[in-house]
Structures are given as C-alpha cells and as structure tokens.
Amino acid sequence: RKFKAAKIEVTYYKNEKVLSVKLPSGRPMFYHAPRISEKIVKDKEGNERNEGASFSYLGRLGAKEQGTVGRVWGWGGKWTENVVQATARDCLTSSMLRIDQEIDYADLVLHTHDEIGCEVDEGLAQRCYDRMHDLMVDLPPWAKGLPIECKGWVGRRYRKD
C-alpha cells in the first residue's frame, strides 16, 4: 500500500517476520514480528476486556516495564507519529551533513532532536547562523513540499531557547 501526504510517499511492506516502512528519504524503518490479533487488557481490578483486533509488533516496552522486550500495541496515531518523527530526523541529519560539508569555518559540535549547534569564531557567528538557516530550510528533493521553518540564535554558550 502507498499513502501520499504533502507530496511525499511512504510505502509499507510486510512478510511474516517484519513490517518495513520505506520513508520518504528511502531509509527503512522496521517493526519486528508484526501481527493483528485480539488485544486483551486488564483493568485495575484484574478484569479482562477485549479491545478488538489491533496491530502489534515485538519491541522494547516503556519505562513502566523497565525496557523489557514484549508486544507493543499500536493505533493510527502511533504509526503516524513514528513516520513523522523519523522523517523529521532524516531532514535534520540531511541538514547536518550539508552544514558540515559547506560551512568550513564552523564546527558542528552538538545536536538534539530538533537543534543543531556549531562553534565558530565570534566575528563569523551571524554569517554562520544565516547560512545554517538557509541550508536547513532548503529541503532535499525527497522532502520537497513538507512545511518546514527554523529559527535560532547566536550566543556564547548553549542554552535551551
């Protein structure tokens, strides 16, 4: 099946062992041991309730289960969020590579899930910021049509804005 949104394409492939998602960048994302089955949940009193057919995969469970491996149950919003976050990550890493290649007077020294930080001589800081901005909003061909903007600041040390 293929789905289109914002002029990008995400493709899903499944065999008995793996559901793979081909992201707009071409990078694959995998869900191991996928299956559709009845989801049975217990309430606080221990009573079981059938929530109907749901999709699940084998993965790392949340903090409550202390990171053990087990069945991870999903819903439409979870799958959408995973694709959106993975695509955002691919946009960020594409920008990081271009910044590292094209701004030779700056050192890329940090990144978080949505930020890139460079170290540069103070006299070149604004020029570096302007160039970083231009590179970050100039999307790779596979991401054309995605709504993106970036903002930042120039400072002597890192801070969360």
Tokens of 146: 């995605």
pTM of the model: 0.82
Tokens of 89: 């990550």
Rounded Cα distance between 103 and 44, Å, is: 57
Tokens of 132: 């970083």
Reported as a single tens digit per residue, the pLDDT across 36-77 is 888 888 888 989 988 888 889 998 887 676 778 888 888 878
Reported as a single tens digit per residue, the pLDDT across 90-122 is 999 999 999 999 999 999 999 988 899 999 999
Reported as a single tens digit per residue, the pLDDT across 119-136 is 999 999 999 999 999 999
The helix/strand count (H/E) of the chain reads as 2, 8
Residue 17 binned pLDDT confidence (cut-offs 50, 70, 90): very high
Strands 69-73 and 18-22: unpaired
What is the helix (H) or strand (E) element at residue 96, kind and residue range?
A: helix 76-102
